[in-house]
Amino acid sequence: MSDVKDYPKLGLKAGLEIHQQLDSGKLFCACPGYLRSDEPDLLVKRKLHQVAGETGEIDAAVMHEAAMDKAFMYQYYRDTNCLVELDEEPPHQINQDALHEALKIALLLNCDIYQDTQIMRKTVIDGSNTSGFQRTVLIARDGYVETSFGKVPIDSVCLEEDSARIIIKDEKQAVYRLDRLGIPLVEIATAPALNNPEQIKEAALKLGEILRVCNVKRGIGTIRQDVNMSIKGHERVEIKGFQEPRMMVATCNFEIERQLKELEEGTTIGAVRNALEDGSTVFLRPMPGRARMYPETDLPLLHISREIIDAVKKKLPKLRNEIRDELKKRGLSDELVKLVLEGHLDEFSALSKVHDNPNLIAKMVALWPHEFASKFKKEESAIREVLTEAVLERVLLALNQKVIGEGEVKGILLKIAEGMSVADALRIERVDDAELEAKIRQLVSEKPGLREGAYMGLIIGTLGKDVDKRRAMEIVKKLLVR
């Protein structure tokens, strides 16, 4: 691949589309939103037919699918699917939990909310929906995210239902499972205002950061990201499966090369393509147009009241960079900040209400369990099953009551991780301050001229590893100053 760097000269123009599953029940029925691996109860066969959109035209992508004349099979579970998913019953009113979460995302993206909006049907006859269309509703517009390249405009935020899950697909048949059909998706579309691959990657990561602080599903398949891009003289190309950060720049550069080659050959038609692991892409289908949307006739206009918007605003979560800055202000090192943010923030926040020492609590929840696991050659999860939040809280309460000293906390947790009961671990034979100072004074007088660390080694060796190390160091420093 040749070096593609002069993006302004190439006229690179790109925009992102992100589809993120929300962690709630389904959007237009009461079925749960989880996937299944057991054998289905029923198999339903359907054929889907092309329908004109609200402009009266049939979309090119729809015509392409219709020409294949396929029959589709749908796997159905009696206890977790319903007639709505089979398109045998009208949709229910929109899931309020999903709507509130979508509004939260829209507000974090600085968007304006549509207070009255029409639920629409988007024609799709590739078999991924039993009805032949996908329900979608535009809820917000005109937002932005901040990046190092400046603001990236957000054109729209939509709430829509996910498609059925493909199980088998070949030239003769397509078998779908209805467990995924109807799970709420938030679709975020940026304006085509991204002009180089690094900016595209940063914008994608920023949008991902915002989604992670919301109530979204996690794991493979829960987020799908596409990039629409073109260079000067070429029609827009949509690349599916654009969610691997380490391949984003390479994929953009491969696509630029491909479009340059098509310009030389005089073929500049847009299409939908799929991203491959090496950064190249493969043709999927013609580019869909705007002739496949029409209003949902089974549901009324969606009204989003000012009261709902205000209630969601009061519950907006803080973004990761805001939390990072707060943790640094509280005195945590970059390493501890990173560890806390990797999955221990809730525990850290809860325990910070018990005892006000952020560094100690960060080590308790994020650092020491990992160290103990290495020491005992165990899985970290096994250590965390012992050092639960309740156990850590009990140790902190003992610290608040001066039953133990701060320097003794790690040793106590180590004993609990080894298997000692919490009660026994907290029963420490402690030396009172006067006695401790007298013993340290004696050690210093017997071996004058040593450094602080050497004296601490002597103290631990003489008085035991459970000695209050912080207090001992304070005494050593006081004596050495004299």
DSSP single-letter state for residue 364: I
Q: What is the pLDDT of residue 423?
A: 87
Question: What digits encode the pLDDT tens for the residues 20-50?
Answer: 999 999 999 999 998 999 999 999 998 777 7
Which residues neighbour 28 within 8 Å (Cβ) at sequence distance 6 or greater?
84, 91, 92, 93, 94, 95, 135, 161, 182, 299
**The most confident of 40-49, 356-365, 461-470, by mean pLDDT:** 356-365
Mean of pLDDT values over 220-245: 92
Across 266-275, 367-376, 442-451, least confident range: 442-451
The answer, yes or no, to whether residue 217 has pLDDT greater than 60, is yes
Across 27-41, 66-80, 251-265, least confident range: 66-80
Please report which confidence band the pLDDT of residue 147 belongs to, taking 50, 70 and 90 as the band edges: very high
HSE-up of residue 31 (Cα within 13 Å, Cβ side): 28
As given in the structure block, the two tokens for residue 183 are 């799970």
**Calpha distance 469→136 (Å, rounded):** 62
Q: What is the pLDDT of residue 428?
A: 65
The answer, yes or no, to whether residue 430 has pLDDT greater than 70, is no
Q: What is the pLDDT of residue 252?
A: 95
Please say whether the beta carbons of 384 and 429 come within 8 A. Answer: no
Place of tokens 């999903």: 98
DSSP single-letter state for residue 124: -
Residue 413 or 68, more confident:
413
**Calpha distance 68→374 (Å, rounded):** 58
Mean of pLDDT values over 147-163: 96
Across 19-23, 71-75, 161-165, least confident range: 71-75
List, in sequence order, every residue forming a beta bridge with 122; answer none if it has no partner. Answer: 134, 293
Please report which confidence band the pLDDT of residue 335 belongs to, taking 50, 70 and 90 as the band edges: very high
> pTM value?
0.73
Mean of pLDDT values over 310-319: 91
Q: What is the pLDDT of residue 1?
A: 44
**Calpha distance 401→85 (Å, rounded):** 58
Please report which confidence band the pLDDT of residue 361 belongs to, taking 50, 70 and 90 as the band edges: very high
- Counting residues of the chain whose pLDDT is more than 70, the rounded percentage is 96
Mean of pLDDT values over 73-97: 96
Please say whether the beta carbons of 127 and 70 come within 8 A. Answer: yes
Residue 79, SS3?
A: coil
Q: What is the pLDDT of residue 152?
A: 97
β-strands 71-76, 133-147: how paired? unpaired
Q: What is the dihedral of CA 84, 88, 93, 94, to 10 degrees?
A: 40
The answer, yes or no, to whether residue 395 has pLDDT greater than 90, is yes
Mean pLDDT of the chain: 90
Mean of pLDDT values over 456-461: 85
Please report which confidence band the pLDDT of residue 127 belongs to, taking 50, 70 and 90 as the band edges: confident
Q: What is the pLDDT of residue 2?
A: 45
Please say whether the beta carbons of 397 and 354 come within 8 A. Answer: yes
